[in-house]
Structures are given as structure tokens and as C-alpha cells.
Structure 1
Amino acid sequence: MKSAKARREQRQQASPWARLFLNILFVIFVGGGIYAGYLFYATVKDIVAHMRVPTFPNLRLPSVETSSDSQDNHPGSDIFYDWESTDPIHIVLLGLDQRPEESGPSRTDTIIVVRVDPATNSASMLSIPRDLWVPIPGYGENRINTANYIGDLKGYPGGGPALVKKTIEYNLGIRVHYYARLNFEGFVRIIDRIGGIDINVPAAIEDSQYPDPDNPGAYTTIYIPAGRQHMDGQTALKYARTRHVDSDFGRLSRQQQVIMAVRDRVLRLDLIPQLLPHLNELMNEMGDAVQTDLQPADIIRLAQWAEQIEDGNIKQGMIDSSMTVPLVTPNGAQVLCLDREKVRPLIKELFPNGSPELDEAQVEDLNHLAAEGARIAIQNGTTTGSLASHTAAFLKERGFQVVQFGNADRFDYAQTVIIDYSGKPYTTGRLAQLFHVAEGNIQRPSGVASEVDILLIIGQDFQLPTGG
């Protein structure tokens, strides 16, 4: 494998679009690849079409209203990330257990948390087994792969991905900034579009209980011989999904193997002239498969960082059988319990200097906030710039569901006001406690229709706490 320096030197004769094309591919697949791959395609489509950093007309981004005050935050992100810093960024990649004919809330077949660190020019990824039995904030204990399903089904603010992020932080102490998710069809198409991948299969795989894609609820037998195999999209999907030949942990290992194979494939320069002529076709065919809260400018910045990452600075890990204990629930479900003491060293290795572990009071606070699910809007009623966006970032990092922020109807509010439209006593109380809002400045109107549950109007007496 060529070094990053050698690759950059070899690209000098490539066109600017080809270099941008390769850079974006590099970051997507360094970062954990398969399930973020569609993000690259949507980005390049609009860059080629408009020759500028555009918006995504074809991506289903969360609808969060902002105003000019929002310059310091990204509307789709639950956790604030400062793109001017060199802090590590965390992205969760979600593969949906969803067939082309299916719609509605879905469980996640794959969960991979990716870390890109621009300060050390390194990256890491952690695979999380789908059967991990964990507390899902506000919804009791369940398999971790149900967090996305529950979040979408119950209307959790930010949907399933937001609840997945919160669940990961709650149980593993990893604060996730962004997400990308897609389904099986997306996986197959991207592998086919890059001409397949080469995988060294350590042992022959024969699985007679593989889900039959043509007959939901039925099974079929698949066979993949040992040795170096060139796989198309369907074969790669089977290789990444099968688990009856060994276990879910073996499947996690195969998924990471596929990710690195894709990365190796797309970093070959001869792919560029093959793929560039088909960009419009790719976009028309694949544009609806991805969901993400990353923005185009974010992708470009990630690409610039990832170009500096050498092959040896990519770490891979998984929560495996040595860090879990098998358990049968009262309903008869076979699940895995997390051994937190044993998983802690892995988290520290892959995510050094990550989020501090939550104490019991913080966990209880998160549970109460998640249970109420209050949708909060923040309005800046002062002349201090960016105060609403900074407050939104502060609250999001502490588990509050901020869905709007911007300027108030005027800028001469002397005192901060909280308006509770929907009866969310715990969240209202926590806001009043954090920002020292007197009871007389808390309004609880009845019969007033509102798109949000709580409105926080920032006044001249407002001070953003330095702690939580």
C-alpha cells in the first residue's frame, strides 16, 4: 500500500475534480466506509453540478430551523462540534436491516462508531454487536439495535439516529457528533459500482440459515469458499451479514474486513476515470438511500484531514465475547450483557480523551430528559451575537433536545423567560435551575398551539454556565 505522501505525488497530474473525488472517497472509507459511502456520491453530484459547496437537495436531513444567530452550529447535529478546532470527531455509521420493499422504522444491522483525529492524523473504528442488552435512555432495557427503531417509532427528537447517539454515550461514554445510515440495497450498489472488492476469506463459509432476500421469513443456503475471493455487492453483503457459521462477533470482524477492502479498492487511481463519467447516473440511482446530518462543507473538511492519515494510523476494534456475558431475558431472548470493566480499556484505546463517564445523577438526569422528550426552541432577546447558538450547543451536550434556535422578536428583553407550552415540568425545572430563571418568569399558557414544547427567550440577565 502506498503512503499518503506517495499518493499525493501521484495525483499531481489528475484534474481538480479527480483529486476532490479521491479525497472524499478517502475520508469516507477511512472513517468506516460502507455505510457512509452514499454520502460521498451525493456530495460529488452537487459539486460537479454547481461547481461550489452546495446544499443537498436529495438528502433527507433533519428539519431544524435556524437564523443568522446559528453561525456557530450545524442544525442537524445533536452535539456541537467546533470545525475550527483540531479536536477528534465521532461519527456513527448505521446499516439498516431494511429491504427495498420495506419502509418505516427499522432496526440497525450494523453499528460502527468512527473517530477521526486531525491533531494526530489518526482514525479508529469500533463495532458494536447488535444484540448488546443496554439501557436505552427513557425507554428501559433492550437490544442496542432497537434504539434506531424506537427513536423513529416514538418520534424522539432527532429520530432514531439521535436516540442511537444518546444510547452510545450513555452506555459507552462516547459522545457522537454525527451519523450516516443506509440500507442493504445501498451496500450492494456501492460495491457493484466500484467493480467489486477482493477479500481473503480465512475459512470456507456455509450458512443454511441465511435470510432469503426473495422470500421474507424464509432462509437459503450460501457458500463462500476459502482463499482470496473477488466479491460483487450481493456476495459482499452475504459475507458481511452471515453469522451462523460462527457468531455475531465473527460477523463484526468480517464487516470491518469488508470496509478495509472497499477502502483499498477506491484508493486505486484507475477507479477515478471509470467512475467520473457515471456521476449523474450514480446520483439518480442512489440519491434516496442515505440519511445524514453531516453537511457538504463538513465532508470537504474531513477529506482534508483524512488525506494526512497513514495506513498504520487506523485502529480497529470490536466489543467481543471477552467483554460480554451471554444472557437469556425473561422473554427468552438471547442477548449480550456488557462487562463495563473489560470494555473500558478498549474504549480508552480507540477513543482517548473521550467523554468522561457519567455518574449516577447524570444518568438519572438523562433518563428524565429523554422520558419527557421536550422539544426546545431558543431565542436570543439581547444584542449579544451568537448567544442562542452557544446556548443550544451547551444544552445539546447535556441531553436537552434543542430543535430551533435564532433571534427573538426584539432585543431588549431584560430578563430570561421560559414558556412551557406542553407541560414538561422536569425539563422546565432543569432549564430554570441552569439559567437561574425565577418562577415569576416561567409561563405556562394553556390551549396555545406551538410546534415546540418549551421556548427559552434569553434576556440581559442571562449567563451561560461554565459547568452542567
Structure 2
Amino acid sequence: MIRFLKTTPKSRSLRLGVLITLLTAVALTFGGFYFIAYRLASIQGRLPVLGDFISSEGDTTNLVLPVSDFSFPEQATMPEGVLTPWDGTGRVTVLVMGLDYRDWLAGEGPPRTDTMMLLTLDPLSNTAGMLSVPRDLWVSIPGFENGRINTAYFLGEAYQMPGGGPGLAVKTVEQLLGVEINYYAQVDFGAFIRFVDELGGVKVDVPKKIKIDPIVGDPIKLKPERQTLDGELALAYARARNSEGGDLDRALRQQQVIFGIRERLLEPEDLSLLITKAPALYAEIASGVQTNLTLEELIKLAVLAQKVPEESIERGAISASEVIFAESPDEQSVLVPLPEKIRQLRDEIFLVSTGTLGPLTPGNSQERMAAEGAKIILLNGSLSEGLASRTQTYLQSQGANVVETSNGEFTNHTRIVDYTGNPHTVQYLTELFGVLPGYYELQFDPNSSVDVIVTLGVDWSTLEIP
């Protein structure tokens, strides 16, 4: 069942909006990013051909080497630290996991992650990225020793670690990539299958023959042609490992499935049907999604993602050039990461054009605020007469689009309410007014005639306007 940290009133329109977010979240687990999937899928000509993730002949990374043993302590200890919540304006990073619950149902313990993807969005620079992580990476798991990265979730659940399976999976990926992860989202296979079936299947261009093995039924050989796959077949296609690139080129097929889902969601003849099915789809998908993102955060991310330019979305997968092919003590094939190469790939995906893993440098905030052009209303919440008008004059000299001033409710501290998602404006105003934590709020309303309302408090009235 989907878990939110807090609840909000469910209006019909809000419910439909969250439905679309959840539906895309399911797709995300198999190669997308729920708050950039739409933009990502609209990029033309950027998908690599099958085999791009495979080492060329003679590549030394294809050497099969033994790896160290993986042992389980009697009492595992979890390193200190919890997920750091997003501040609402800077870069946000999410770990998305696809789970196979068949082990659990068969009495073999908690599930393992079948798909892991690290996703990032920087609203201040309007950039985004996603990085697929192979499940066979042989890594150090905090509190344990070495093992496949897909066992981190299993161990977190089995040993009842702080944060459970998601918590240990997050810490493992943080340690591997050297980035802070704010949130996680996990989707089970059943939710994905039901979602695709409700859409009437997805259309996929299969580039060459491939044998897939659905969870239910006999193996099927897909011909190299455009065809419609139902939920079972779409899942089997996305998970298939028996192609030339094995686990390393699954990322491409997962992205193809996202494209197919995107097409279905945007087909005019299907949109009305989707809206009609909204309540049923919401219930179906919500039962298979778990996340520590709140409903408010989901909506805010969806709003901000729509503003990311297509050319500013980067994606990739840890491939043969970033690993060494090896064998585990039980003679299973694993991938030993090459840390420097993996972090170089991380930087290529996450840094994009900003050159930083964090927010933009202060010197850019005024330009970006002005370019955003958000309609701002200033309300005087202090006892200083004319404060809103004087502030309007200054802000307009800086390029701000202040459309109205008036008196507002008294407040000691300046408040900002953002109605349409304006990260550059919010960052600039927050820095200018010294807005305290808790005094910025997103109240998303696509029908609002104003973008941002600022209630000027006593704290601003005591300062000299620049």
C-alpha cells in the first residue's frame, strides 16, 4: 500500500492529478522518472541502439575475476544518519526500486530489488537526470560486507534495520555514488502489470529477436517489429536478461517501455478513457506503490518537472565500461564497480550544465528570477506604512514582475506562498527577505491568476530596503 507521511484533502481534481503522478511512477520504475518521464519521453533521437552498453571485443573490463566472500554478521549495525528531506528549492534526488515479491510469497524471505534507478531534479537550474544501477553490482553494504546491490533491500528487511529495506538500499547507493538521497519510491510488479493492462498495452519497437519469459505462461519469442505488449509481456521485455548485453542493456528496453507508456497516455483517443478509469486506476496503482514522499511533495515535483527543458535532461546506465566482470564465491556472475569511472558517469548525468551537484551559485539568482517572470503580489503585513509600495519599486528595478500591492494580515515574519511552481523567484525572494524555514509554502493551483504572494513582515520593515 502506498504510504504518505501526511494526508491532505482529496478533491476530485487533486485525485486525478495524483493518479497521473502515480501511474507515471509505476512506469518510472522500469526506466523513467515520474516527474521527468513526460519530458524524457518526448526527446527524439537520443536512444542508443541495443549493444551500446556492451564492452567491445578485447576490452579488459570483460576479464572474469574472483571477488571476496560475502558474510553476514550475527548482529548487523546500521550507520547513523537518516534521509535528509528536500528543502523545497534545491536539488532533490530519489531512489526508485522495482520489487519482485515472488520470493516473499514462496516463503523465501523479503524481496530483492529487480530494478534500481537514481533520479535527480534541480529546479534552480531546470535540469534533471537519471542513472540506472545494475542489480548485480558487487558492492559494500553498510553494516554488512560485500554483496549484490539488489540484496541491500532484502537485508534491511530481514535484519529489521532502521528504515527497513528502503533505508539500507538508499544508504548503499549513497555510499556507491557519493550523493545524498532524499527520497525513495518502490513499485511491485503486480501494480505495473495492472497499469499497463488498463492502458490497453504499450507499443514497443523491438529491434531484434528476443526471448522473454513472462511470470505467467510459457516463454515467448518477440520478432523485430513494432508490436503491442500487454502488462505481462511488457514486464517480461523490460526484465529480460538473455540478450547479448544481459543485465547491462536492460536499461534500454526499460526506457523503450516508458516511451510506449508515454504514447498511450498522450493519445487523444485514450485520454478520455483514462479519465473515466481514474478512480479504479488510482486504487489499483496506490496498492502497489510505497514511498516516503508526501502527497504535497509529489505534486510539487510534478509541477516543477514540467519546466525542465528537454535538452537539460540527461540519462545513462552503469555499463560495461564502468565495471569488471567477475564471479562471486558461489560462482555467480557479478559486476565489480570501478568507482572513479562510475562517479565520472554520475557527474555527466547529474551535473548537466550547472557544474555543481547543489543549487546554483548566488550570482545567477536575479537573472533567473527575472527570466521566470512570475506574477507577484506584495502584501504589507507590518505596521510600516507604504512598505509594499517601496518594496515593489525596488523589486521592479531588479526585473521582478510585481503586479499588485495591498495590505495583508499582520505577521512578524515574511511569508511566501507559491501557487504555480516558481523555484527561481522563490529562491531570490527567500534570500532577499531572509525568509525563515516554515514560512514558505507551495499551494498548487493551476487556475491561479497570480504566481507568488509575499506577505511582508515586521522583520522586513526593520531593514533598510536596498
TM-score interval (norm. to shorter): 0.5 to 0.7
Aligned to 1:66: none
Aligned to 1:108: 113
Identical columns (%)? 36
User: Across the two proteins, how many residue pairs are aligned to each other?
Assistant: 296
Would the aligned equivalents of 2:211 and 2:220 in 1 still touch at CA under 8 Å? Answer: yes
Deviation at residue 78 of structure 1 after TM alignment: 1.7
Counterpart selection for 1:137 from 128, 137, 142: 142
Deviation at residue 279 of structure 1 after TM alignment: 2.5
Q: Secondary structure at the match of 2:179?
A: coil
1:164 aligns with 2:169: yes
Counterpart selection for 1:80 from 68, 85, 98: 85
1:94 aligns with 2:91: no
Aligned to 2:126: 121
Would the aligned equivalents of 2:97 and 2:114 in 1 still touch at CA under 8 Å? Answer: yes
Aligned to 1:329: 328
Deviation at residue 149 of structure 1 after TM alignment: 0.4
Counterpart selection for 1:228 from 215, 226, 229: 226
In structure 1, runs of 5+ residues without a counterpart are 1-14, 41-76, 215-219, 356-468
Q: Secondary structure at the match of 2:208?
A: coil
TM-score w.r.t. the length of structure 2 is 0.58
Q: Distance in 1 between matches of 2:214 and 2:28?
A: 28
Q: Secondary structure at the match of 1:80?
A: coil
Aligned to 1:278: 277
Deviation at residue 227 of structure 1 after TM alignment: 1.9
Would the aligned equivalents of 2:139 and 2:148 in 1 still touch at CA under 8 Å? Answer: yes
Deviation at residue 98 of structure 1 after TM alignment: 1.9
TM-score w.r.t. the length of structure 1 is 0.57
Aligned to 1:238: 236
Q: Secondary structure at the match of 2:277?
A: helix
Q: Distance in 1 between matches of 2:322 and 2:210?
A: 25
Deviation at residue 243 of structure 1 after TM alignment: 0.8
Aligned to 1:258: 257
Deviation at residue 155 of structure 1 after TM alignment: 0.5
1:181 aligns with 2:186: yes
Q: Distance in 2 between matches of 1:120 and 1:260?
A: 25
Would the aligned equivalents of 1:324 and 1:338 in 2 still touch at CA under 8 Å? Answer: yes
Would the aligned equivalents of 1:180 and 1:293 in 2 still touch at CA under 8 Å? Answer: yes
RMSD: 3.1
Would the aligned equivalents of 2:111 and 2:153 in 1 still touch at CA under 8 Å? Answer: yes
Aligned to 1:196: 201
Deviation at residue 283 of structure 1 after TM alignment: 3.5
Aligned to 1:316: 315
Would the aligned equivalents of 1:124 and 1:315 in 2 still touch at CA under 8 Å? Answer: yes
Q: 1:180 to 1:102 in 2, by over 3 A?
A: farther
Would the aligned equivalents of 1:27 and 1:307 in 2 still touch at CA under 8 Å? Answer: no
Would the aligned equivalents of 1:189 and 1:233 in 2 still touch at CA under 8 Å? Answer: yes
Q: Secondary structure at the match of 1:291?
A: strand
Q: 1:19 to 1:153 in 2, by over 3 A?
A: closer
1:301 aligns with 2:300: yes
Would the aligned equivalents of 1:23 and 1:307 in 2 still touch at CA under 8 Å? Answer: no
Deviation at residue 351 of structure 1 after TM alignment: 1.7
Q: 1:313 to 1:231 in 2, by over 3 A?
A: farther
In structure 2, runs of 5+ residues without a counterpart are 1-11, 38-81, 359-466
Q: 1:29 to 1:123 in 2, by over 3 A?
A: farther
Q: Deviations over 1:165-219 (max 9, x none)?
A: 1001111112111111121111111111222222111111125xx37536xxxxx
Aligned to 2:369: none
Aligned to 1:363: none
Q: Secondary structure at the match of 2:180?
A: coil
Aligned to 2:339: 340
Deviation at residue 20 of structure 1 after TM alignment: 3.7
Q: Deviations over 1:319-374 (max 9, x none)?
A: 0111110111222222110011222221001122338xxxxxxxxxxxxxxxxxxx
